[in-house]
Structure 1
Amino acid sequence: MTTAVALPRAGGSGGRTAVAARARQVTKAYGTGETRVVALDAVDVDIARGQFTAIMGPSGSGKSTLMHCLAGLDSLTSGRIWIGETEISKLKDKQLTRLRRDQVGFIFQAFNLLPTLNALENITLPMDIAGRKPDQQWLDTVVRTVGLGARLKHRPSQLSGGQQQRVAVARALAAQPEIIFGDEPTGNLDSRAGAEVLGFLRRSVDDLGQTIVMVTHDPMAASYADRVLYLADGRIVDDMANPTAELVFERMLQFSGDDPRTPDEHVEARGRTS
């Protein structure tokens, strides 16, 4: 079992930050007997409020499962999860649905847009359901940053895959939720558009105190985060603060077994590049 604790916010005073989400002894298993597969193995983790956390790991490591459990999208085999002060692992379905609607934003590769609504209506849908009016100035900033100004009246079928992902990103950000979970949120964007969205996510953390948890396989995307958690075989095996693309790539090679350097040599390399 590996325990990851909340870290000071990058560039801050160095004090401990509040925790936006936390997991204690979280286990997720599929199947029984000889066919039982453990996707998460007694994971403990704190997600600091006002930070950008990236989750990485090889295929089958449990990174998406961890995010889905933290977000209340998947049930637990055992353990406990909180968002803020609310233990979501004990909520009934209607309570959990309400909490996700009011406090959580989602960005996934499957855009999950309603085909009968135009782009703007899809962006404001969570707020419409909750009976809240959007902050127009913030909404305008979100739309401008993700480059949707000329496409707001278009329905999903009239948008490219990349444009649909931008709508999904804008929808998650527009309501300014307590925490945003993203599964490869720029995976369907070209490098320039992806960098713009990642930069905006970064600014939403720095300027507005947004909390973001992002699953990614891309070292460059992970470099926008304050912290990178690495999973392997359902456990957190490393916790990197202040990542760079180069350091993330080196660590990925180390865990994949493709890098001939020893762990000590990696530590020395990190010291030279820090």
Structure 2
Amino acid sequence: MTAPVRLANVRRTYGHGAAEVTALAGITVDFAAGSFTAVMGPSGSGKSTLLHCAAGLDEPTSGSVTLVGKSLTGLGETELTLLRRARVAFVFQAFNLMPALTVWENVTLPTVLSGRRPDSQWVTRIIDQVGLSGRIRHRPSELSGGQQQRVAVARALASRADVTFADEPTGALDSQTAIEVLRLMREMTRYQQTIVMVTHDPVAASYADEVLFLVDGQIVSRLTAPTVEGVAGRLARLGESAKVNR
């Protein structure tokens, strides 16, 4: 069975000549169906670039990306948009909520745009589990930053996409809500939803099946069945190694 997300020798550079910066230095990795993977590493290690290339939001300089069975090489922006709309969900640090829409309308928007009818019972359950059942008629301007992030998470999970890409999805949440959101993301894998999450938080990473550690655009380590202590220890060792190699 082909993995829903596959990167093969993906390189991404920015700039030219002496100013060239390598963000990804030949990444090869598969993200299996129903898996929950955390991506970690120091600032500038290539975490967000990996996420953007995997999602078709950024084009690799070389190498190939396959998303839900379709090669992204050569696809136009319209084709990419239609593919993402139908099969992919996002939770980024910028909430990207529609200011004129209510919580309910924002959460169901991707489903409506893909031409499907929202499952009201499922949407209600998701909104309740992120703690916003009393806010479904509120607009983003009437919500706190943490509440807006919860709407963004609910929107991604309610769409039942094949793949969800999340960039620091719990960064704006209090600890209890963050745990509830992570548990919900963990539950989504039961439905064969694939989740790829960039995070700096060992607690968040501990909810994943596996953690990939990036340094200088390369996967330098993996940790399966992660614990908070195990993730923190691995990060500390990578940090010490980076200091020694400077």
Structure 2 CA distance, aligned partners of 1:145 and 1:171? 12
Question: Is the counterpart of residue 246 in structure 1 residue 229 in structure 2?
Answer: yes
How far apart are the structure 2 equivalents of 1:137 and 1:120?
A: 12
Shift of 1:84: 2.3
Q: Secondary structure at the match of 1:89?
A: coil
1:81 aligned counterpart, secondary structure: strand
For residue 129 of structure 2, the aligned residue among 145, 148, 152 is 145
| Kept after mapping to 1: 8 A contact 2:2/2:69 | no
Distance 1:40 1:55 in 2: 13
Residues 38-85 of structure 1 deviation map (CA, whole Å, 9 limit, x = unaligned): 000011111111010000000000011001100111111111000121
Retained in 2: the 8 A contact 1:22–1:47? yes
| Residue equivalent to 1:198 | 182
TM-score (norm 2): 0.96
- SS of equivalent to 2:133: coil
Structure 1 residue 26, shift from structure 2 partner: 0.5
On the 8 A contact 2:162/2:192 being kept in 1, the answer is no
CA–CA separation in structure 1 for the residues paired with 2:87 and 2:80: 10
Q: How does 1:89-104 map to 2 (within 5 A)?
A: 89-104=73-88
Q: Which residue of 1 aligns with 2:102?
A: 118
Is the CA contact 1:104–1:180 (under 8 Å) kept in the aligned structure 2?
A: yes
> What's the CA shift string for 1:95-126, capped at 9, x where partnerless?
00000111000001110001111111111111
* Alignment equivalent of 2:48, drawn from 46, 49, 64: 64
Runs of at least 5 residues in structure 2 that lack an aligned partner in the other structure: none
Q: Matches of 1:40 and 1:144 in 2, distance apart?
A: 39
RMSD: 1.4
Return the alpha-carbon distance in structure 2 between the equivalents of residues 90 and 124 of structure 1: 30
1:130 alignment partner, one of 76, 93, 114? 114
User: Which residue of the other structure, out of 193, 197, 220, is the alignment partner of 2:203?
Assistant: 220
Number of equivalences: 243
Q: Report the alpha carbon displacement of residue 258 of structure 1 after superposing the two structures with TM.
A: 7.4
- Greater than 4 Å deviation, 4+ residue runs: none
Question: Helix, strand or coil for the counterpart of 1:186?
Answer: coil
Q: Percent of aligned positions with the same letter in both sequences?
A: 52
- TM-score under structure 1 normalisation? 0.86
Question: Is contact 2:210-2:222 (8 Å) kept?
Answer: yes
Distance 1:18 1:95 in 2: 21
CA contact (8 A) 1:72 1:89 kept: no
1:179 partnered with 2:156: no
- Cα offset, 1:136, TM superposition: 2.0
Q: CA deviation at 1:18?
A: 4.6
The letter for the 1-side match of 2:134 is A
C-alpha distance in 2 between matches for 1:243 and 1:28: 28
Return the alpha-carbon distance in structure 1 between the equivalents of residues 72 and 156 of structure 2: 20
- SS of 1:150's equivalent? helix
- Rounded to whole Å, the distance in 2 between the matches of 1:180 and 1:90 is 22
* Separation in structure 1 between the aligned mates of residue 102 and residue 73 of structure 2, nearest angstrom: 34
User: 1:254 deviation in Å?
Assistant: 0.4
